[in-house]
Amino acid sequence: MRKDLIDEELSREKQEKDYLDDVSLEIELIDEDDKVSYKVGDLFLSLKQSEVTELLEKDIEAIDAKIEELESKESEISSRIKDLKSLLYAKFGDNINLER
């Protein structure tokens, strides 16, 4: 996977996590017996506040795991790029430009 694509996906996942964190804080302000609409796929379900809170926590955990995985991939790719650049600069010196 290209580093640019990983960076874009990582940015989207972090934005989604921020959104879920904000929603989670707002949901906590609602009474426990009140119904809240929760989106599952293309459906909206009316669930109790406590059920929605549990589902949001699971969603946040899943996104955290995905963010961690993407950061790991990005780190591996960056390390590999750094190694390749050092090899190419050692071979070609200043005759090659590898910076964007």
pLDDT given at position 94: 80
3-state secondary structure of 54: helix
Q: How far apart are CA 41 and CA 72, in angstroms?
A: 28
**Are the C-beta atoms of 76 and 4 separated by less than 8 Å?**
no
Q: What is the domain extent for residue 56?
A: 2-70
Q: Are 23 and 37 in contact, with CB atoms under 8 Å apart? A: no
Task: Give residue 1's pLDDT.
Answer: 59
Q: How many structural domains comprise the chain? A: 1
Inside any domain, residue 37: yes
When the pLDDT of each residue in the chain is averaged and rounded to a whole number, the result is 91
Domain CATH code at residue 37: 1.10.287.370
Residue 94 lies in a domain: no
Entry pTM: 0.80
Assigned domain for 91 exists: no
pLDDT tens readout for residues 36-74: 888 888 999 899 998 999 999 999 999 999 999 999 999
